[in-house]
A and B are shown apart, each in its own frame.
Chain A
């Protein structure tokens, strides 16, 4: 699905991952190829154990693949071995991650949960706070900026988590079942939000999901089964055509 004249933000080539060795070897990913372009929201679907989260972890540079090549934002980061020494910095600068559950730090309020990522990136306290508040307003949870995670509803907490993922303006946003704890109406709202972010920030968004109700929110869907890419479907018109 290479698009001439556009560079993929995420490019996965022949990526494989296995665990164990010999008879105990389990192939979690086998020769995965995929590309995600700026502004795209891509779905990664498949039954449990199909390798979705493993693929997401490899793309998040949390898990080292066993072979293949991975390019993030035009920079080759893996080619049969890690090419970057500081993967932590790479994650901080280029990747935003939205977890299945918000995973907000319980001892920080909504603003600081967003600002903490900015601090880690080296932004000063005032600037980090200002940007965090802007992001919360953008995600329409600005009125809850002083609330602790336990005081937020599920939808509000997930929005704060999305704000945290966006804090450093990453080109790549990886989401692991972000709508799982939400009802279908809120799930659609979150997916629409992700689409808006993809377009506004020209980011590539990859969403692992089981939720068939949100399929129409994806530009592209990859289906995995037993570690192999089964189908590769285009579900929407090219980015920007109808949104």
Chain B
């Protein structure tokens, strides 16, 4: 006879309402793991999207994400000739803000050379960039449709959306857009007409600066990446970072504070959940003091009493967790930023919930074990 189940069945409405509250709380804990996972995944996505073996950046910098990096546009040709480098591509990165239907839209522009490393990882709709100017592949989260035109730059160049991607956003949640390197350079360096006229009047150069932020290199599978990196490092004006180093820079430094902050919020939420679960279990036990006293009086062993409380605590925790998970997945599409759940973190939150429930039930168990069986003799029940 399962006393815990019978008690839950008897007070089913109370259990459901308690569970609903708990599921909201656990849902927030689960959601925070998704936000945390999303933050890391978004940050790493930029680096991973390039599918690079080596990142060649300005000497002495941790570019292009952690620091600003500017290298000459012809660096790609130098890198291509280094021993072990199979393919290379120039890339630029910049954030822009434009207006669409009267609303501001932020985009993270990546300039790349079509056909070379550094382009979009996967296109979910439309096609790749085929023309050398004014075509764009953008993440769906930008809310743009295929064929839609976007005005970019000081001279309002019209870029046409030719391809759409999924889940390509920056660590700050801005959608990523790919354009050709030449367009990106133009947007980065071209001046607005009045500024251009002033520059011309003072005899300044009107030539576009052929500068890039990094060169992405793919190394031959037959050559160790470290060997190629060492060869590239002999160039005094360049630094070669491996993909692992780049990811470490992004996850450990670029988003470090945001990551720590979210981790702290998660820890606090777990503590709050533990306190609330403990109070719920304690209150549930308080309601059963007379029944517990009667059970003890008639000879129930402590393990029966402990079992009753632990099973109810676990029932609350497990159903609360499942309901919380269902809530989060139901409302996931409505979150402005991506929630990323890897199986490990989902299992970890479940394990934490179980541990918290077990720990929280100790308060109830302590109360139950201290109930004097003689209490069954006192007053009406």
Contacts and interface: CB of A to CB of B under 8 A. Distances in A.
Interface of A: 53, 57, 60, 62-63, 88-89, 91-93, 97, 99-101, 103, 105-108, 112, 115-117, 119-121, 125, 128, 148, 164, 176, 181
A115 B189 CA distance: 86
B297 A106 contact: no
A203 B179 CA distance: 95
B377 interface: yes
A125 to B, nearest CB: 7
Contacts of A108: 1, 3, 6
B204 interface: no
Contact of B299 (A91, A107, A148, A181): A91
B227 interface: no
A92 B9 contact: no
A164 B295 CA distance: 11
A92 B248 CA distance: 65
Interface in B292-341: 294-301, 304
17 contacts: A60-B297, A63-B374, A99-B294, A101-B380, A105-B3, A106-B10, A106-B291, A107-B9, A112-B6, A117-B298, A119-B1, A120-B299, A120-B300, A120-B301, A125-B1, A128-B1, A181-B380
B12 to A, nearest CB: 10
B290 interface: yes
Contacts of A120: 298-301, 304
B376 interface: yes
Range for the number of chain B residues in contact with chain A: 20 to 34
Nearest to B301: A88
A62 B299 contact: no
Nearest to A63: B374
B75 to A, nearest CB: 76
B175 interface: no
B7 interface: yes
B294 A103 contact: yes
Interface residue SS majority, chain B = helix
Q: What are the 5 tightest A-B residue pairs by CB atom distance, in nearest-first order?
A: A92-B299, A107-B10, A107-B7, A91-B299, A103-B294
A215 B7 CA distance: 40
Nearest to B304: A120
Most buried by B among A88, A105, A117: A105
Contacts of A53: 377
Interface in B95-150: none
B381 A103 contact: yes
Contact of A91 (B9, B291, B298, B377): B298
A105 B294 contact: yes
A107 B298 contact: no
B294 to A, nearest CB: 5
B377 A105 contact: no
B373 interface: yes
A54 B9 CA distance: 37
B373 A101 contact: no
B11 interface: yes
Contact of B297 (A91, A93, A115, A116): A91
A93 B298 CA distance: 9
B374 A164 contact: no
Nearest to A95: B299
Contacts of A91: 297-299
A112 B2 CA distance: 11
Contact of B6 (A101, A107, A128): A107
Interface string B351-381: 0000000000000000000000110110111
Interface in B265-302: 290-291, 294-301
Nearest to A57: B374
Contacts of B298: 91-92, 97, 116-117, 120, 164
Nearest to A112: B1
B1 to A, nearest CB: 5
A116 B1 contact: yes
A93 B295 CA distance: 14
Most buried by B among A53, A88, A112, A148: A88
A53 B380 CA distance: 16
A234 B188 CA distance: 112
A117 B301 CA distance: 11
A115 B1 contact: yes
Given A92-B298, A108-B1, 20 more contacts: A57-B374, A60-B297, A88-B296, A88-B299, A88-B300, A91-B297, A91-B299, A92-B299, A93-B299, A99-B377, A100-B380, A101-B380, A103-B381, A106-B10, A107-B9, A115-B1, A117-B299, A121-B299, A164-B298, A176-B377
Contacts of B7: 107
Contacts of A115: 1
A63 to B, nearest CB: 7
Nearest to A87: B299
A129 B11 CA distance: 23
A63 B380 CA distance: 21
A193 to B, nearest CB: 19
